[in-house]
Amino acid sequence: MTRDKAFAELKRILVPLDASEHSLEVLKAAVELAAAQGAELEGLFVEDADLFRLCEFPMAREVSFWGVSVRSMERSETERQLRIVARRLQRALEDMSRGHNVPCKFRVTRGGVPREVLDASKEADLTIMGRIGWSRLCGQRMGSTTQAIVRQGRGLVLIMDKEARFQPPLQVLFTGSRLSEATLLLALELSRKKGFSLVILMAAHAQENRKDMQDRVQEIVSGQGAQAGVHLLRELNPQGIRKAVAAHGTGPLFLPCEDPHLHGESLQQLINSLNNPVFLVRDR
């Protein structure tokens, strides 16, 4: 068995940035991961087209958090401020990347933020998203852009919390599918590079499948010259997965998103219920 070509190498990692504290924390983790993988890091800042649309309203006003002042919104001023934010983010990206010898580039686009990020993620081998940015202020568990990526995104996506850290063990869901085998291989490689232990959450619904899946897992793991623990899942649904993950701590979780339970709303709920960094592995 060889890994899916799409996940063979992580050469290009995309990090959408919005200057929130959360976003910068995620950038830090992204730089470390890019350094471990030898990948190039691409920072993306999207100038929200809604803001420019709002500027066209004569009654549009901006309320400052700390200055307690209300200003009318001018397009030129908004553009200027967004450029300042973009420069700051670019500098942060370059400084952090330089510290880890990671090649990087920075891009600014304008449009709807979720759309722009979705488009950009198609070109990347991995997209790393903060679970939540400014939306956190409004009590949301997941930001609108991340929601869009979770629901509509393709390829490899990593969702991280601000406080989340890469720490052992890695956990990977194995369903026996081709995609889950590719996910297992990806997790094995990362565990080798990081020196982390690996726990395989094996979803064997029927007794008769279990032996075959165990053999297959054994074959893949030993084929990579690695070792891994196995955790048998009673049922393949968000609750079952959450329970199993909670038993092994807050290390990164690799999810092959092909099962109907791991799509759309239920996938979002599962991610919201976990504090772990989550790798979403999907076909392109």
Partner 1 sequence: MLPAGPAVSGLRLSGYFTAESFTGVLSGCRIPEYPGEALIIKLKPAADFNFMQVLNRGVFMDHRKLSPAEVYQGCDVLQLSFETTDELQALHDLSQGVHQPRAVQALKFGVGIRQHGYNIFALGPSGMGKHTFARQYLSRKFEDYPYPADWCYVNNFETPGRPRLLHLPRAWGNSLAQDMEKIIQEVPNALKGAFESEEYQNRVQAIQQEFKDYQQGVFEDLQEKARQRNLSLLKTPSGLSFAPVQNGEIMSPEEFQKLDEDRRKQLEKDMEEMQKESERMFQRFPAWQRDMRQKLEELNHEVAQYALGPMINEIREKSQHNPDVSSFLDAVQEDIIKNVQTILEGDKHKAQEQKQQHPTAMGQSGGREQIMRKYRVNVLVDNSRAQGAPVIYEDNPTYANLVGRVEHQSMMGALITDFNLVKQGALHRANGGALILDAYKVLTNPGAWDGLKRALISQQIKIESLAEMFSLISTISLEPEPVPMDIKVILVGSPLIYYLLNEFDPEFSKLFKVAADFDTRMDWDGEHQELFVRFMAGVAQQEKLKPFHKTGVSRLLEHSARKVQDQKKLSTHIQGLTDLMREADYWAGENGRENVVEADVEQAINASVFRSDLMREHIQEAIQRDIMLIDTQGWQTGQINGLSVMGLGDFMFGRPHRITSRIRLGKGEVIDIEREAKLSGPIHSKGVLILSGFLGARYAPDRPLSLSASLVFEQSYSGIEGDSASSAELFCLLSAISGVPINQALAVTGSVNQHGRIQAIGGVNEKIEGFFDICRERGLNRRQGVLIPESNTAHLMLRRDVVQAVETGEFNIYPVSSVDQGMEILTGLPAGEPDENGEYPGDSINGLVQKRLRELSDKRMQFASGREQGGES
Which residue in the set 1, 137, 246, 247 belongs to the binding site for partner 1 (CB under 8 A)?
A: 137
Is residue 196 part of the contact set for partner 1 (CB under 8 A)? no
Any idea what the Cα angle at residue 31 is, between residues 145 and 21, rounded to 5°? 50
Nearer Cβ to partner 1 (1/137): 137
Is residue 25 part of the contact set for partner 1 (CB under 8 A)? no
Beta-bridged to residue 199, according to DSSP, are: 171, 229
Query: Do residues 171 and 281 make contact, with C-beta atoms less than 8 angstroms apart?
Result: no
Neighbours of 57 (CB within 10 A): 10
Is residue 65 part of the contact set for partner 1 (CB under 8 A)? yes
- Sign of torsion, CA 268 114 178 1? negative
- Which residues make Cβ contacts (< 8 Å) with residue 119, sequence separation at least 6? none
Nearer Cβ to partner 1 (147/171): 147
Q: Shortest Cβ distance from residue 83 to partner 1 (Å)?
A: 9
Which residue in the set 2, 5, 76, 139 belongs to the binding site for partner 1 (CB under 8 A)?
A: 139
Is residue 225 part of the contact set for partner 1 (CB under 8 A)? no
Which residue in the set 2, 5, 64, 225 belongs to the binding site for partner 1 (CB under 8 A)?
A: 64
Nearest in space to 116 (alpha carbons), one of 216, 68, 46, 166:
46
Q: What residues between 76 and 115 interact with partner 1 by CB under 8 A? A: 78, 81-82, 84-85
CA 205 to chain centre: 28
Nearer Cβ to partner 1 (81/101): 81
Q: Which of these segments, 1-9, 134-142, 215-223, 232-240, binds partner 1 (CB under 8 A)? A: 134-142
Nearer Cβ to partner 1 (17/278): 17
Task: Note the helical H segments in 73-126.
Answer: 75-99, 113-122
Is residue 163 part of the contact set for partner 1 (CB under 8 A)? no
Q: Which amino acid belongs to residue 71? A: R
Assign 126 to helix, strand or coil: strand
Q: Shortest Cβ distance from residue 136 to partner 1 (Å)?
A: 8
Query: Do residues 97 and 129 make contact, with C-beta atoms less than 8 angstroms apart?
Result: no
Q: What residues between 234 and 253 interact with partner 1 by CB under 8 A? A: none
Interface with partner 1 by CB under 8 A: which residues?
19, 48, 50-51, 53-54, 56-57, 59-68, 70, 73, 78, 81-82, 84-85, 134, 136-139
